[in-house]
Structure 1
Amino acid sequence: MMKRSLSIRLFFHFAVVITLSLSAIGLFTYTYASTEMNDQLADNIAQTMRNTAYQTDLYLQNYDRATYSILSNGSVKHFLDMNSEDSYAYYEYSRQIKTNVFPPVFMLYPQIKFLYVIGDNGRVVIDDNQNSAGIPDIDAAQQYKELLAATPANGESTLLTRSIRSGQSANVITIARRIRGVSSYTPNGVLAMEVNVLELDKIWGELDLGQGGYQYVMDQNGTVIYTPGDEEAQTAMASSSVNRLMHMEAGSLEQNTDGTKRLLISELSAYSGWRFVASVPLAELQRPIATIRSATLWVGAGTLLAALVVAYRIGASQVEPIRVLMNGMRQTEKGIWNKVEMKERRDEIGVLIRSYNLMVSRLSDMIESVYESELRRQKSEIELQQEALERHRAEFQALQLQINPHFLYNTLETIKCYAVVQDSEEIAQMVESMAHMLRYSIQTNLEEITVANELKHVLAYLSIMKHRMDRELEVEVIIAPDLLLEKMVRLTLQPLVENVLQHAFPRGMEPGHFIRIDARRLEDRFLVIVQDNGMGMSEERLEKLRERLELNRLAGEDSDDVYHRGGIGLMNVHRRIQLVFGESYGLMMESERGLGTTITMALPADQHSKRI
């Protein structure tokens, strides 16, 4: 008895699959979207901080360039070199500097509040851009000592958050650098200018970091030199966060201020060494993510509910006809062969019911039909195999027996007898060689053909050609004795030698010409090589012949190809080798015009299979 119906199990499985799928998609979408959005917002804020740092650097470098005209001025240099006790020189150089040097700089850069030069001689020249009467009295020696300690010895400028006027260091930026006089090789004075930091508010104050977002600017020592006017922002930077920011070049960190989590994003200025920090509430950053989360949950819940309803209806519609079919099969078990009656269906279940009805009505006929069909199939396969074997054997025999006329052998024996009677030794030799060749071709029952058999057949052929061409024909055989019993396919070596005589030496062999037969083992292959130094062939003809070998086309298909005319032909030899040993064996050719041709016959080494 069933513990749970199929419809309940289908609905349960549907519910699990749908729930897992929607949960995985929703979780992945939410996680990926929230991560990407967080990263994008952080990147945007970091880019804003980098732009702010860049604009600030440009602004400060503009003031730094203003010092160039002062440090190279002659009056300034002489002022640094003068005797500290010479009051007249001090008066004269101070007047020249205040009259001719400082005013142009104040005119070009009205934001400069103070300009002053302090020498190691204890003298100072100071000027106020806005109120000459408000110039403070300063301790020149102390100021020089402090500035000397704060500025680099190489003359580079440095930025300081200090002022010569007490009580105003929080709103002032001092740009200072060491300078030297005319006769000094080392710096012996300091040039400094003070700029109101509020002038940079035009750059820093335009940033919009959202609700609750602030920007801070800190100097090299971690001192905050700029904060927004909001009182909450001025107290929101924790000292622990400042310490952590000072130990990182750029990046972000989180801090908890009065229960509010904030993200601090820091960028370091390469020129000024100042640190630009954006402080943004995490809740503000994650507000779009919360919206996405809520939307994902609502849409997922609605989709899940709709999917479960559809899954239940689908399961019920598929299970009902199966129940009917199951009841019919129970009747069949009892021997009641009734068809299942249902409405016409065109789906798989309808096909299943129709197949069941057909099975019930024609079960015995179907078994008999299947049995007879299997017998016919097996018989057909056997016949096809026999036909393929016969075609294979017929093709091989047709190729091999192209020169197998029995009556010629008997006729040649008769001619040999007459030649002996007539005392014609040449005719007798020719007929004997021809008879040997025919006998060798007729012997189809030979089980194994060796290299020695093929060489003997070649010698008989050369004997005939010697009398035919009326000259001695010599073939150089350099085959090692232990290779003479290697197995070959019959009638494969003589066609190669015949091909050389006909095409490599069309005018006959002359002194210096050679035909060389060699053999060697190479791994699992046995190679027979026929080489000549005849006329060779063009690269185009060689490529065409290689293509024909690759396609396994038989001899006689192209009467215009000289390498296919006469005798059995190269293609015939190539095809017969492949019929015996397989497609991986056969002939290979190398040739070059005027240098000769090399034909390599590739056979398997140490073959023990039957040779035909």
Structure 2
Amino acid sequence: MRPFRLRAYSGLSFRQKLIAVSVACILLPTCLTLAVSGYLTRDAVKDQAVSNAQESLALADGYVSNLLQYMLYVANYIQNDSEINATLKALAFGNGGDELSERLRLLSKIDNISSVGEQVFVTILQPDGRYFTSYPVYEYDPRLLFEEPWFRELRTFSGLSTYWAKTRPTVYMTEKTNHPYQISIGRTLRIGSDASQIYGYVVVTMLESRINKIFRNLAVGQEMMLVDEEGRILSHKDPHRIGERLEYLQAADGNSNVLELDGERYLLTRRPIAYGGWELVSLLPYGQATANITGIFNSVFLLLIVLFCLFLMLLVYLIQTFTKPLVKLGRVAASVQRGNLDVRSGIRSRDEIGSLGASLDQMLDRVGEMIREITLQQARKRKAELDMLQAQINPHFLFNVLNSIRMKVLRKGDRESAEMIASLSKLLRMTIERNKEMITLHEEIEIAADYVLLMNMRQKEKAELRLDISADVFLQKVPRFMLQPIIENAMIHGLQQGPGTIGVTARIEGDTVEIVVEDDGEGMSAETLERLRADVSRRPELSGGEPGGVDEADGADGAGELPGAEHRGFSSIGLRNVSERMAIIFGARFRMTIDSEPGRGTRVAMSIPRQEVQRNDV
């Protein structure tokens, strides 16, 4: 049975196999996902509901903490203000100045504090009954604070310890009707080495309605409250519930629970705040908390089934459409295999198949071009060989004739002309001997020196060649005629065939040989320099000659300038010739940089890999 199934599968076409595998790879994970998602939906619904409730509590925590923090800020300001404390100490111990001015200054301070930020009631009370308030005394007599039960506990606090007085009925006459509850904090002001002597009390009060207003704005559809460490409600949007103790908080475990109260399930969420050991509590009917999420899950589940059926039909259709170009590519490949190189796929879509079709067509076009190019190269090569045979002369005969002329001139006493003929003979020998592409740097320096000598003989004013060559660089192998085109550019375009200095420096630095040619000529503008760099950086392209072949004559004459050069700066032909030759020989390890400034000359730096000098090279 199994071999029959394998044979049946292997007998399918590529398109049928793709459809079968795609359907299987989509159907199996989809069914498994639907089954698992149905099982996990309940936990996901609960987690999302808890997350929403926690976000609401976090937002409320920010607002409530800001209010309580502001109360602490006011208390801290009064306790740490040196002027306020000095005035209170002076009044408490009777060693101050004018008591009336001291009181006025202190009341002004309190008014400034209470007039900025949230609405708070500030009271500074001294043990002898003196008081300073941010509210009028007809609102509330601050000396009644001595009679408050919690005030006795306040006396036991010291330093920056804060007594949180929790929620109590509002004592201010004009606020009782609309704001029945208030929350206060207290601090003691002490003096002495052991801080045992109290010279004042600071009480900051805020109306509880400031907090429950936050609950009304944020807790839409849920019950949110502030409770103390015993589970008693300190703030609630329903004032009648303030002071009620929530017994179920003792049984709740963790910050989020699902409780059943009066036959209905509720989602209980708790969040501690940073003050007084209090916490925020949110109570939300569980059905309401999960109604939207459950509906979304059910809708998504139904939509997923419908979309799966539609997508399955669409998938089969699209696979058939997408595989048509593959079938066409197969036919093109079969035609090419039979030797038909003129066939093309014509597929130009923007996907991978289109890219493959375009690449195949480009490859066939390139193959045709290469065939034509090879044919043309062969013809050019045959023509070049004929031209070489026709132009070939006997170098030894030519050199012997030049030597004979030099000796005859020398016998007549014209040493300068004899040296000129000798230098010309050396340069001509290097030009004709094409079998010696790599020479030592020492030989290349001699060629450059001979060239400068010849150029100085044809110029009215001579250029000076300065050499600074490290001894360990002389035997390094370099391409023939590497320096001459650069020096020629320096003399013709940099020095304008006039007087000046051309310096050649060569050093070994690590694994590279650094060669620098620089002149003190006219230099070039930034625009011309950028065009020169761009022209020199171009890579050599394939031509009809030998790969990487370079005509030394082109590199030596240095003719042709950059557009707009105005005879200032370097010619690009000689430099490009050198750059191309060096790049062909040394590859990515060769680097050439060109720097120039108008009036300060031009600097050409080249970096080539260092070579180990063999003993037989010496």
Q: Give the structure-2-normalised TM-score.
A: 0.55
Pairwise mapping of residues 477-496 of structure 1 onto structure 2 (< 5 A)?
477-496=467-486
- Paired residue for 2:5? 3
Q: Distance in 2 between matches of 1:193 and 1:606?
A: 86
State the SS of the aligned residue for 1:428. Answer: helix
Shift of 1:443: 1.9
- Paired residue for 2:561? 558
Pairwise mapping of residues 403-482 of structure 1 onto structure 2 (< 5 A)?
412=402, 415-416=405-406, 419=409, 424-446=414-436, 448-465=438-455, 467-468=457-458, 475-482=465-472
Shift of 1:487: 1.8
Deviation string 1:248-276 (CA, Å, 9 cap, x unpaired) is xxx54454558865333345677776555
Q: Distance in 2 between matches of 1:493 and 1:200?
A: 88
8 Å CA contact 2:166, 2:234 repeated in 1? no
8 Å CA contact 1:175, 1:194 repeated in 2? yes
Q: Distance in 2 between matches of 1:195 and 1:481?
A: 90
Deviation string 1:532-573 (CA, Å, 9 cap, x unpaired) is 4x334144344443333223697434375455679x944444
State the SS of the aligned residue for 1:286. Answer: helix
State yes or no: 1:519 paired with 2:506.
Answer: yes
TM-aligned CA distance change 1:153 to 1:390, over 3 Å:
farther
State yes or no: 1:605 paired with 2:610.
Answer: yes
Q: Distance in 1 between matches of 2:303 and 2:153?
A: 66
State the SS of the aligned residue for 1:440. Answer: helix
TM-aligned CA distance change 1:487 to 1:241, over 3 Å:
same
Shift of 1:382: 6.8
Deviation string 1:28-68 (CA, Å, 9 cap, x unpaired) is 99687775454234433665687689899999x99996683
State the SS of the aligned residue for 2:428. Answer: helix
State the SS of the aligned residue for 1:289. Answer: helix
Q: Distance in 2 between matches of 1:294 and 1:2?
A: 43
Which of 276, 280, 285 is the matching residue for 2:284?
Answer: 280
TM-aligned CA distance change 1:459 to 1:417, over 3 Å:
same
Q: Distance in 2 between matches of 1:300 and 1:54?
A: 46
8 Å CA contact 2:437, 2:479 repeated in 1? no
8 Å CA contact 1:524, 1:604 repeated in 2? yes
- Paired residue for 1:20? 29
TM-aligned CA distance change 1:383 to 1:275, over 3 Å:
closer
- Paired residue for 2:55? 43
Which of 529, 535, 544 is the matching residue for 2:521?
Answer: 535
Pairwise mapping of residues 170-569 of structure 1 onto structure 2 (< 5 A)?
186=197, 218-223=227-232, 237-238=247-248, 240-241=250-251, 252-255=256-259, 261-266=265-270, 275-304=279-308, 310=313, 369=339, 384=373, 412=402, 415-416=405-406, 419=409, 424-446=414-436, 448-465=438-455, 467-468=457-458, 475-503=465-493, 505-506=495-496, 508-509=498-499, 514-532=501-519, 534-540=520-526, 541-551=528-538, 555-558=558-561, 560-561=566-567, 569=574
- Paired residue for 1:128? none
Q: Which is further off, 386-395 or 469-478?
A: 386-395
Amino acid at match of 2:559: G
8 Å CA contact 1:501, 1:508 repeated in 2? yes
8 Å CA contact 2:257, 2:268 repeated in 1? yes
State yes or no: 1:68 paired with 2:142.
Answer: no
TM-aligned CA distance change 1:587 to 1:408, over 3 Å:
farther
Amino acid at match of 1:159: A
State the SS of the aligned residue for 1:519. Answer: strand
- Paired residue for 1:589? 594
8 Å CA contact 1:57, 1:272 repeated in 2? no
Amino acid at match of 1:20: P
- Paired residue for 2:104? none
8 Å CA contact 1:46, 1:265 repeated in 2? no
Amino acid at match of 2:474: L
State the SS of the aligned residue for 2:429. Answer: helix
Pairwise mapping of residues 41-120 of structure 1 onto structure 2 (< 5 A)?
41-44=53-56, 47=59, 68=123, 71=125, 76-77=129-130, 108=139, 116=144
State yes or no: 1:149 paired with 2:153.
Answer: yes
Deviation string 1:359-385 (CA, Å, 9 cap, x unpaired) is 9xxx9x9976469999x9999857745
- Paired residue for 2:351? none
TM-aligned CA distance change 1:52 to 1:405, over 3 Å:
same
8 Å CA contact 1:151, 1:176 repeated in 2? no
- Paired residue for 1:140? none
Q: Distance in 2 between matches of 1:377 and 1:543?
A: 34
Amino acid at match of 1:460: D
Deviation string 1:135-193 (CA, Å, 9 cap, x unpaired) is xxxxxxxx87x741355546977526799xxxxxxx9989797999xxxx955999999
State the SS of the aligned residue for 1:68. Answer: strand
State the SS of the aligned residue for 1:40. Answer: helix
Structure 1, gaps ≥5 residues long: 79-100, 119-123, 125-142, 164-170, 246-250, 319-345
Q: Distance in 2 between matches of 1:2 and 1:545?
A: 73
Amino acid at match of 1:289: I
Q: Distance in 1 between matches of 2:210 and 2:322?
A: 78
Q: Distance in 2 between matches of 1:36 and 1:435?
A: 94
Pairwise mapping of residues 567-578 of structure 1 onto structure 2 (< 5 A)?
569-578=574-583
Shift of 1:477: 3.5
Q: Distance in 1 between matches of 2:284 and 2:151?
A: 37
Shift of 1:449: 2.1
Bigger Rg over Cα: 1
TM-aligned CA distance change 1:479 to 1:196, over 3 Å:
closer
8 Å CA contact 2:469, 2:506 repeated in 1? yes
- Paired residue for 2:165? 159
Amino acid at match of 1:550: S
Q: Distance in 2 between matches of 1:453 and 1:514?
A: 21
Q: Give the structure-1-normalised TM-score.
A: 0.56
Q: Distance in 2 between matches of 1:423 and 1:453?
A: 28
Q: Distance in 2 between matches of 1:467 and 1:190?
A: 107
Shift of 1:441: 1.8
State the SS of the aligned residue for 1:277. Answer: strand
State the SS of the aligned residue for 1:3. Answer: helix
